[in-house]
Amino acid sequence: MKMQEKYKQLLEALLESSKEFLNSQELGELAGISQRTVIRYMKELKEQSLKYGFFIHTVKGRGYRLEIIEEEKFRDALAVEEDVEVTKVLFKLFFERTCKLDDLAELLHYSRSGMSRIIEKVEKKLEREGLRLLNKPYVGFFIGGSEVYIRNYLYKLLKKKSLEETEKIFRVPREMLAKVRSEIDAELAQKSVHKRKENELFFLKYLLIQKQRIAIGKTIKTDYFANISQTVHLNHDMEVVRNIQKRIETSVCPKSDEEIENIYLALVYRQAFWQNGYVDSINEKNLQFYQDMTERAFQRIKNDYKVDLFQDDILVNGLVLHLASNFSRYLLGMETENLFYNDVLESYPTAYYYAMEVAEEISVWTKLSLSKYEISFLGMHFASYLERSLKSKKWKCAIIYGSGIGSAKLLESRLHNKYPHLEVIGTGLLEEAGKKAEEADFFITTFPVEEPEIMGKPWVRLSPMLDIKEQIALEQLVGNLARHRKWRYESVSKMYLYIDQYMEKIELLNYLCDLCREKRFITEQEAEGIVGRENLVSTEIVEGIAMPHGLIEGSSFLVFALLKEPIIWGRTSVKLVVMGCFQRGDERMKEELEYIFHLFLNLEDKNRLLSCKSAEEIERCMEVYYGK
């Protein structure tokens, strides 16, 4: 049973207050109603309170106090969003070194037993961010994980808060932030940079997060910022943020961590204000850093995929500049959503895998994993390379004519002039097609053909006029040839498993690798490579599905592992794990990935897959899909 809205504001005010009692004047100010109305409402509330699971205590001279008697009844009546309660708990955990269960229960006015569901939700939210809720006897709860990730998650919780709301959460005087804003205004004015309100709010929130975390002794304990000044010019920005930190009276930071914290805040400052305006020029020294990173990734691609990318200057230079422009964001563990993520994944799965090699190089340096969106931005450079390669490839076709050879010869001449990447290897009648079938990639006919294929190869009908519709049809066929060659289900061996035992991500991956080692599909070193890669770059592909992978010396194979209970994988929940083990240089990998990714990105097909209840069911589902 839900309570009338007019009462909810008063109860929420009592519930959220840090004071034991609130009088009618205080309640009126919080609810935006008169004292007389408060008194009337509170009298009405007292009369029906027991059926809603609470009681209102009234003490003359002090005011009103809320006592919750039956938590489930009360929550149902008030319809308090658990997300709000979870967020309150998260803020308390982030703002204090440790928290006892009693402290958290008191925060929400719950009993200790009533906190179990909230604690479970807190754990799940933290897991999605790569963090953990830890609990030690006689110490209490605290959050474990990368300090950079903790600060990014705190910002996510604050993202929709206004400056006024943020000030209240951190309990900082408005005058203090006014001084900081003046400092920023003066600095940006010197550089003729226009300040955007949202950028300023972004920086101020991270500034207050840093202040609060340092205050409880939580600093960034890592050396991955140590040489950043060699690659990014931050000296001036570091001086600016030192002055800003003085304005907000930041707690004294341990000397050993002081420089790292200054570099961190300078990078945030740069991310906030310089990304759309003034940027450092790329000099020879820091350019070499990004060049070396790109070359190491390319060398691994060459070794593992048998593809030499070094000669494509457009790709090399584009990636180097991309890394230079975005490296600060990588260091801060931040991400930008890529609206073309699905397009990259579906049309260029090989590009996404190449991008993972670059992401691995970045993670070696930053000690943080890149999100799928950041990887897909890198993948767009490789997609562009693949498009250029497609246009430069010579596709072989044969022209089939019905009665007169003249129309076929005219069409051949027009194709030669318009499409230099097409090679016409001959013309002939339909019954002569078998002679060219093995060499030709596809056939062109000047007349209608009833069968969907000619000698197992696709065909397109064109006239000697080659009008715009026919040109589009031809280009679509060539594009599909490059991206969706016909694939046989038996090409790569597949194993199907149903796992009813709960395991966490790395534990599950080790289990799958051990299973494959026992069958002698992979070696111990190859198994370590798959797990090691996952630690650097999380391989969730879409919501519900992850695809860890590795390169092996043996034959290529796939393992489909359906989980009884979903687990946290990176920043998503996963119920199906497809482990891909591909032989180095196996050209079939590209086609296999395209078929699988196309399935994953189709919502109906994906949901059908995730709804399976057994290994046999998922195998049948995949057989149907491959048979399409």
Q: What is the per-residue pLDDT across 173-182, written as a single tens digit (0 to 9) for each?
A: 889 999 999 9
Both 243 and 266 in one domain: the answer is yes
Say if 156 falls within a structural domain: yes
The Cα 391–Cα 479 span in angstroms is 9
Say if 567 falls within a structural domain: yes
Q: What is the per-residue pLDDT across 558-573, written as a single tens digit (0 to 9) for each?
A: 999 999 988 888 877 8
- By the 8 A CB rule, do 290 and 378 touch? no
Both 343 and 304 in one domain: the answer is yes
Specify the CATH number for the domain of residue 536. 3.40.930.10
Both 99 and 27 in one domain: the answer is no
Say if 421 falls within a structural domain: yes
pLDDT at 18: 65
Partners of 583 in beta bridges: 552
Both 43 and 90 in one domain: the answer is no
pTM: 0.66
Both 159 and 141 in one domain: the answer is no
Tallying the residues shown for the chain, one arrives at 628
Q: Which two tokens mark 39?
A: 């008194």
Both 181 and 226 in one domain: the answer is yes
Say if 335 falls within a structural domain: yes
Strands (E), 401-527: 422-428, 442-445, 459-461, 493-499
C-alpha triplet 12, 14, 20: angle, nearest 5°: 155
Among 220, 241, 273, residue at a domain's last position = 273
The H or E element containing residue 492 is none
Q: What is the per-residue pLDDT across 572-622, written as a single tens digit (0 to 9) for each?
A: 789 999 999 988 877 677 667 777 887 887 778 888 888 899 999 999 988
> What are the residue ranges in the chain where pLDDT is below 50?
1-2, 80, 230-232, 276-281, 484-490
Both 494 and 617 in one domain: the answer is yes
The H or E element containing residue 223 is none
- Number of folded domains that form the chain: 6
Range of the domain at 57: 5-78
Say if 385 falls within a structural domain: no
Specify the CATH number for the domain of residue 27. 1.10.10.10
Both 615 and 501 in one domain: the answer is yes
| Torsion angle defined by CA atoms of residues 23, 24, 30 and 33, in that order, rounded to the nearest 10 degrees | 180
Both 600 and 534 in one domain: the answer is yes
C-alpha triplet 116, 119, 123: angle, nearest 5°: 140
